[in-house]
Structure 1
C-alpha cells in the first residue's frame, strides 16, 4: 500500500510548507499542493472533488491536510468524507506533516490519532516555557540557599 499526501490551503501556504518539507527530505517525499483561491478562474470545488473522486483507493491511502477548520478549503473536503474513504486533517503544521510523511501507509489509519496529538504538542506559547524555566531556576537557587 502506498500513500498520497495532498496539502490544500488558502493561497500559497501549501507550497511554503512543502518547501520546508523538501528542505529536510529532498525529493524523496512527493506531496501535491493545492493553492486554493489564487486563480479566480479555477473552479476549486470541482478541483478538490476530483482529487478525492479520482484517487486509487485500492492501492494508496489518501491523506489531505488543510490549513484551518471551518475554512472554505477544509469545508469542501469535509463534504466529501461521507462519500470517499480518505483521511482529512486540518490545522497543518510542519510537525504534523513530518509525522504523516514518515508513518508507513499500512500503519496510517491506526496512528493518525496519536500523530495529530503529537502535532498539537508542538503548538506552544514559548513565553510560558521561559517563565517556567526561570521559576525553576529560582526554586533551585532557593533550595541551595536553604541547604546552608
Structure 2
C-alpha cells in the first residue's frame, strides 16, 4: 500500500491534510507532521521511521514543503530505502494527484506529470495581467 507523509514547517502539513480530506474524504493513507506539533525535524524523522518499521512492506511518498529546508534535509536520508520517495515543493495539486494515483501505478512513471501539473497550477495575476488577458480575449473574439 502507498502511504503519503506530509512534512513541513509550521502547520502546513496538517492544513494540507485537512484540505485533502475535505476534497477526497478522510484517508488513513495520508499522515501529516508539522513542526508546530512535533517541534523538531528529528522528531518527525523518528515518527516516520517508526511508521516504516511497523509497515515495512508499504511504499512511502514523503512530500515536504521546501527543498533544502530542515524538514526536507531530515527526511531525505530515508530515500536510501527502496520503498521511499520524496517530493519537495508540496502543493495541494501535487498532493491530490499523488493521493489519487491507483495503488498499482508506479510512482516513478507518474511523477514528472504530477510535478508538471503542480507547476501549471501556479500563476501570477494582478491588474496589469488581467488587462492583457482581456485585450487578448477581445482580439481573439469571433467578430
Would you call these one fold, judging by a TM-score over 0.5? yes
Larger Cα-atom Rg:
1
Q: What TM-score, normalized to structure 1?
A: 0.79
Matches within 5 A, 1:1-148: 2-28=1-27, 30-36=29-35, 38-40=37-39, 44-45=41-42, 47-52=44-49, 55=52, 56-58=55-57, 60-81=58-79, 83-85=80-82, 86-107=84-105, 108-127=107-126, 130-140=130-140, 144=143
Aligned residues: 138
CA drift of 1:30 comes to 3.5
Query: Where do 5+ consecutive residues of structure 1 fail to align?
Result: none
Cα RMSD of the aligned pairs, angstroms, is 2.5
Query: Where do 5+ consecutive residues of structure 2 fail to align?
Result: none
Are the equivalent residues in 2 in contact too, given 1:10–1:35 (CA < 8 A)? yes
